[in-house]
Amino acid sequence: MISQRTLKDSITLTGVGLHSGKPVKLTLRPARADQGIVFVRSDLPGSLPIPAHYRHVTNTQLATSIGRGQVSISTIEHLMGALQGAGVDNVIVEVDGPEIPIMDGSAEPFFRAIEAVGLVPQRKARPYLALRRKVEIKVAEKWAVAEPSSSLEIHGSIDWDHPSIGYQEFHYIEGHTDFSEISRARTFGFLRDVEALKRMGLARGGSLENAVVLDDAQVLNPDGLRYSDEFARHKVLDALGDLKLAGLEIHAYFRLHRAGHDLHSQILAAIFRDPDNYEIIDSSVFEERRASGIRAALASRLAATVG
């Protein structure tokens, strides 16, 4: 059985909000089995907790926001990516403002902090969503395709008419690709958009310290990129975080082209729209299936040798 996991102890991190530019305190606390990931606004006592679930997504414009009633929390995707990468099933996320701190624009600071405190197994099997058939969404030249697979796989590609970006792709396979391959990839934006956002009172906390910023010709950060394909790696990180809003582990192969937060949330909604698209299995069933798949493969190989 693969157990659900939570944090061994609480973690507190501080940073600035990308849009508010104000300091934000983030605390991650251990949670009960089957509780999932639950966000709480600690600055609004008595406000409803917000489960990290695609049904609670309220905005996907610049980042992924979730909300309930009047209460919302934005820019959850990099933290969600770190929780997925670390294998955390259950955690309470408390934040004293409307957005998760942007940190360095990647998932690395969250991931490091989770790794440092460690995880504990819980006495409940981890549930899995196994996709049973192909589900796809196409919006103009963007698309998201999900196909059945025995693990979570994401192939992310972008095609940007810019000398520093162009066509890039990155293929992540859970259990094979080390999460550190994508955890350090930072969010990116164009100087003209950042300036426009600042005029609208947004991105006040945005700087070269927490994003890759490009003008029409090049990357403006003095230290350049962390990877030549940092943009595609970040897209995969965003997808990993957004897909964790399924509320359970997904076994499917996602091919995402020019996708963003909107398409990630739409493909999840499309999967859940029809119960024939998937089945929910616990890890003992999934291990048995994997083992019987291996037995069947060995038997056919043996039959071939004997024959």
Binding site for Zn ion (CB under 5 A): 187, 238
Instruction: Count the residues in the chain.
Output: 307
In the complex, the smallest distance separating the C-beta of residue 75 from Zn ion, rounded to whole angstroms, is 8
The least CB distance from residue 154 to Zn ion, in Å, is: 14
CA angle centred on 278, ends 277 and 279, rounded to 5°: 150
Nearer to Zn ion, 187 or 265 (CB): 187
Q: At CA 113, angle to CA 110 and CA 114, rounded to 5?
A: 85
Amino acid letter at 67? G
Q: Which residues contact 264 (CB under 8 A, 6 or more apart)?
A: 60, 64, 144, 238, 239, 242, 243, 245, 256
Our CB check for Zn ion shows the closer of 31 and 242 to be 242
CB of 1 to Zn ion, least distance (A): 33
Collect all residues with Cβ–Cβ distance below 8 Å to 281 and sequence separation of at least 6.
127, 128, 130, 289
Contacts of 100 (CB under 8 A, 6+ apart): 17, 24, 26, 73, 74, 75, 76, 78, 79, 93
* Closer residue to Zn ion (CB): 254 or 286: 254
CB-nearer residue toward Zn ion: 157 or 187: 187
CA 72 to chain CA mean position, Å: 18
Minimum distance from residue 187 beta carbon to Zn ion (Å): 4
Q: Residue 188 Cβ, how far from Zn ion at the closest point, in Å?
A: 8
To the query of whether residue 261 is one of the catalytic residues in this protein, the response is yes
Question: For Zn ion, which is the closer residue by CB, 52 or 125?
Answer: 52
**Which residues have a catalytic role annotated?**
261
